[in-house]
């Protein structure tokens, strides 16, 4: 059988660069080498494309560049027979990977790729636009406000007063366009709020501030194109005050309950709402939908959609599918099939 030639792209110009290295190594380790011929391409933090020649099962964040040669991005635009690629799997998180930019490049090159398209990626990546979309169709979510870095610099006191009047403490502060909990802080007082806005503002000119929700953190994996299916939901019990970057990718001290211990009707509600949001954003391929389940009201609130969720050995997206009966290797096969099917029928 002729092997499918798959370019796996990792790295990128993002605060989530190192996460991408872990995710892509996990994906490439799991890919069936009898079915797929893998071409690993790394994007450096300053945007250079490199063909990776080292061990695909572990990509060292400090040294991977020493095991590369230059890759000419123009090769993507050669005719189908000359470029030697059947499909691209962009295992990229955050800006320039999960925000529609790489998807636009691949659309122009007319190369099938795993994951959701340009518009959906951009919508889900920008927390402000994503929340406006949810609000437009009355999907429940935490109350939020948008702060522009320039407004905060111009009149710090006014911004702080408005946020304190709207939410009180504590509140959560996030960059609008980053994932993996990068740049997120819980502000408990004015001093903490100032520091949190400055931290988020170091990553993005737009900052989202949310009310504090005393709730359980529930997640659900979605897989498919026109007729998506959902995994059993899972729960994250953070070791810290919230599920942060270190917990997700470094020490993994948070408790991951897969599947979540929920009543049957709540499991159904999570899965139905996950599909509703997935379709609202016109996602395809895959996404992970994150929720809060408010403790005192049992209200289910949408937190966010991740169109290229983590794929490391401790990441929730593959773990939820494994708990639902879909093994990691079969999941990757299905993602590739969905990408090829979409390209054939679009």
User: Annotation-wise, does 212 bind a ligand?
Assistant: yes
User: Annotation-wise, does 213 bind a ligand?
Assistant: yes
The answer to whether residue 20 is catalytic is no
User: Annotation-wise, does 226 bind a ligand?
Assistant: no
Q: Which of 14, 16, 98, 185 is catalytic?
A: 16
Backbone φ, ψ for residue 95 (5° rounding): -55, 145
User: Annotation-wise, does 183 bind a ligand?
Assistant: no
The answer to whether residue 150 is catalytic is no
Q: Which of 14, 20, 231, 315 is catalytic?
A: 315
User: Annotation-wise, does 157 bind a ligand?
Assistant: no
User: Annotation-wise, does 153 bind a ligand?
Assistant: no
Nearest-5° angle of CA 166, CA 170, CA 173?
Answer: 80
User: Annotation-wise, does 285 bind a ligand?
Assistant: no
Backbone φ, ψ for residue 145 (5° rounding): -140, 155
CB neighbourhood size of 238 (10 A):
15
User: Annotation-wise, does 287 bind a ligand?
Assistant: no
The answer to whether residue 16 is catalytic is yes
Nearest-5° angle of CA 252, CA 257, CA 259?
Answer: 140
Q: Which of 14, 180, 231, 287 is catalytic?
A: 180
User: Annotation-wise, does 210 bind a ligand?
Assistant: yes
DSSP secondary structure string for all residues of 229-280: EEPPPEEEE-SSSS--HHHHHTS--SEEESS----HHHHHHHHHHHHHHHHH
User: Annotation-wise, does 303 bind a ligand?
Assistant: yes
Going by C-alpha positions, the residue among 184, 193, 128 that lies closest to residue 157 is 193
- Do the Cβ atoms of 18 and 304 come closer than 8 Å? no
The catalytic site residues sit at 16, 180, 315
Could you tell me which residues are annotated as the binding site for ATP?
127, 172-174, 180-181, 210-217, 303-304
Could you tell me which residues are annotated as the binding site?
127, 172-174, 180-181, 210-217, 290, 303-304, 306
Could you tell me which residues are annotated as the binding site for Mg(2+)?
290, 304, 306
């Amino acid at each position: 059988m002729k092997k499918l030639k798959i370019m796996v792209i990792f790295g990128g110009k993002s605060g989530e660069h190192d996460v991408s290295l872990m995710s892509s190594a996990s994906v490439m380790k799991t890919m069936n080498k009898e079915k797929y011929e893998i071409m690993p391409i790394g994007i450096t933090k300053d945007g250079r494309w490199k063909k990776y020649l080292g061990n695909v099962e572990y990509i060292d964040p400090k040294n991977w560049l020493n095991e590369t040669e230059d890759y000419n991005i123009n090769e993507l635009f050669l005719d189908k027979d000359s470029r030697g690629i059947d499909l691209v799997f962009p295992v990229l998180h955050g800006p320039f990977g999960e925000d529609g930019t790489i998807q636009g490049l691949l659309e122009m090159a007319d190369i099938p790729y795993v994951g959701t398209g340009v518009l959906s990626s951009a919508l889900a990546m920008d927390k402000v636009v994503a929340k406006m979309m949810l609000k437009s169709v009355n999907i429940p979510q935490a109350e939020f406000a948008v702060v522009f870095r320039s407004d905060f610099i111009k009149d710090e006191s006014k911004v702080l007063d408005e946020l304190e009047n709207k939410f009180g403490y504590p509140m959560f502060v996030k960059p609008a366009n980053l994932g993996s909990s990068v740049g997120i802080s819980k502000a408990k007082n004015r001093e903490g709020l100032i520091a949190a806005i400055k931290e988020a503002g170091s990553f993005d000119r737009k900052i989202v501030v949310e009310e504090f929700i005393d709730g359980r953190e529930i997640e659900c994996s979605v897989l498919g194109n026109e007729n998506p299916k959902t995994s059993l939901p899972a729960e994250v019990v953070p070791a810290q005050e919230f599920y942060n970057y270190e917990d997700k990718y470094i020490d993994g001290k948070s408790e991951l309950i897969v599947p979540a211990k929920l009543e049957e009707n709540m499991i159904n509600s999570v899965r139905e709402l996950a599909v509703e949001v997935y379709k609202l954003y016109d996602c395809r391929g895959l996404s992970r939908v994150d929720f809060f389940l408010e403790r005192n009201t049992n209200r289910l609130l949408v937190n966010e959609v991740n169109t290229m969720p983590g794929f490391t050995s401790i990441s929730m997206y593959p773990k939820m599918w494994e708990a639902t009966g879909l093994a990691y290797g079969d999941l990757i096969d299905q993602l590739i099939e969905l990408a090829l099917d979409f390209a054939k029928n679009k």
